[in-house]
Amino acid sequence: MRISLLAKIVIVLILPFSGFGQFRIYSNEFLNIGAGARGLGMGAAQTASVSDGTAGYWNPAALTGVQDNSSINLMHASYFDDIGKYDFGSFAIPINDNKRTLGFSILRFAVDDIPNTLFLVEPDGSINYGNITTFSSADYAFLLSFAQKVKDDDDFKISFGGNAKIIYRKVGHFATALGFGFDAGFKMQKKRWTLGIVAKDITTTFNAWSFNFTDKEQQVLYLTDNNIPVKSTELTAPSLMIGNSYNFKLSPTVNLLAEADLNFTFAGKMNTVISGNIVSVDPRLGIEASLKGIFFIRAGIYNFQKALADGDTTNQKKVWIYQPSIGAGFKIKNVRLDYAFSNLANQSNPLYTNIFSLRFDLAKKEHN
């Protein structure tokens, strides 16, 4: 029996998770996309400078920056020519006279309307397009965050925080996964200088996969020489992000914020600036200029990788490529609208995406 290339998409989506408990270099990669157009416009350099409700994603210790008002953050982005859709939402509320902050975040990355062509070819070899159905592959993450101030002077502040996260992944009716993990964060600010440190997946994060193929589906997979996956566990190795930012006061109304982050991963050798069998390091750089705290312009650069040079027929010459981003935003009273524009591919073959996010600050009711 023949099987079309599209039919194999089901196997491509789920076979990477069919091994037994081991670290995956790109495990739960959807959790590395980012959160909020501000952060993505700054090249995802947010570990130190983030101070709104998206801190539950970037650095839970920075949630203490949400003060007096509860904060709601919403974001939407489409990737790969609208094939992949990414949404983020968060809610943060300060408690105990702004000494502590609680936060909740949800992330979803999904590819919808994937053709399922397992039964495109009938047993007699004829093609029946009426047998094509569609399914979705969706990844979800739920973050419950907590932040605590340790020191809160005018020129010196220290806070720490943490995340408990639940991961749910679903590939049609074929496969589902449930995972758990924890993150820890630290933030220290001295005058205009800020240090942020985040340890993600500190106890390793696992996904327990289960598979549910019907007897008919298993028969098609068997006859087309495809392995049928069994229950498995996928592990995400810990990683460490260290960020340093500085706020330059250019004038009474103009600020320039600059941040540099280093992302240390320990899952194996990766295509990064520093690549080792034990640790790999990926830098991120971002800047933000603001006028009166109302208008914002941003730029950043990240995801440095080596790739084959364009036009190299020998496939031997490699060059550095990177992911640039720019952004802008404005704030009107308690509402802020942000936009980011990023290139997901290399510089000669760009693949652009537009990212929008909204922030609402909800004032507390005053009691007489």
Residue with tokens 């974001």: 75
Give 29's contacts (C-beta < 8 A, 6+ positions apart).
none
Q: Is the pLDDT of residue 70 over 60?
A: yes
Q: What is the mean pLDDT of residues 138-160?
A: 94
Distance set, CA 259 to CA 53, 124, 228 (Å): 19, 63, 47
- The token pair at 127 is 């093609």
Mean pLDDT value of segment 120-138: 86
Confidence class of residue 278 from pLDDT cuts 50, 70 and 90? confident
* Residue 313: pLDDT band with limits 50, 70, 90: low
User: pTM of the entire structure?
Assistant: 0.84
Q: Which of 111-120, 211-220, 277-286 tops mean pLDDT?
A: 277-286
Residue 243 has pLDDT above 60, yes or no: yes
Rounded mean pLDDT, 328-343: 93
Mean pLDDT of 331-340: 94
d(CA 110, CA 87): 9
In this predicted structure, the answer to whether residue 3 has a pLDDT above a threshold of 50 is: no
Classify strands 84-95 and 69-79 as parallel, antiparallel or unpaired. Answer: antiparallel
Residues 6+ apart with CB under 8 A from 258: 245, 246, 248, 286, 287
Tell me the C-alpha distance between 306 and 308, whole Å: 7
Q: Tell me the average pLDDT across 141-151.
A: 96
Q: What is the mean pLDDT of residues 94-111?
A: 93
- The predicted pLDDT at position 151 comes to 92
Asked if 271 and 261 touch (Cβ cutoff 8 Å), the reply is no
Query: What digits encode the pLDDT tens for the residues 15-28?
Result: 433 333 455 666 78
Return the minimum-mean-pLDDT range out of 17-21, 48-52, 167-171: 17-21
Residue 365 has pLDDT above 70, yes or no: no
For residue 226, what pLDDT is reported?
80
| pLDDT confidence tier of residue 343, bands split at 50, 70 and 90 | confident
- Range with the lowest mean pLDDT among 101-115, 120-134, 135-149, 195-209? 120-134
- Amino acid 263: pLDDT: 95
Q: DSSP label at 272?
A: S
- Which residue type is seen at 30? F
Enclosing H/E stretch for 221: helix 215-223
Enumerate domains of the chain plus CATH numbers: 6-363 (2.40.160.40)
What is the rounded average pLDDT for all residues in the chain? 85
Pick 286 or 230 by higher pLDDT: 286
What per-residue confidence (pLDDT) applies to 10? 38
> Which has the minimum average pLDDT: 30-39, 121-130, 305-314, 331-340?
305-314
Buried b (16+ CB within 10 A) or exposed e, 125-161: eeeeeeeeeebebbbbbebebbbbbeeeeeeebbbbb
Output the pLDDT for position 366. Answer: 54
Q: Is residue 158 predicted with pLDDT exceeding 50?
A: yes
Give me the percent of the chain exceeding a pLDDT of 70.
Answer: 88
Q: How many CB atoms sit inside 10 A of residue 16's CB?
A: 13
Strand positions, DSSP E, the chain: 22-23, 69-79, 84-95, 100-116, 133-152, 156-171, 175-190, 193-200, 205-211, 232-236, 239-249, 254-265, 280-291, 295-308, 318-332, 335-343, 352-363
* DSSP result, 228-268: ----EEEEE--EEEEEEEEEEE-SSSEEEEEEEEEEEE-SS
pLDDT at 270: 84
| pLDDT of 227 over the 70 cut | yes
pLDDT at 84 over 90: no
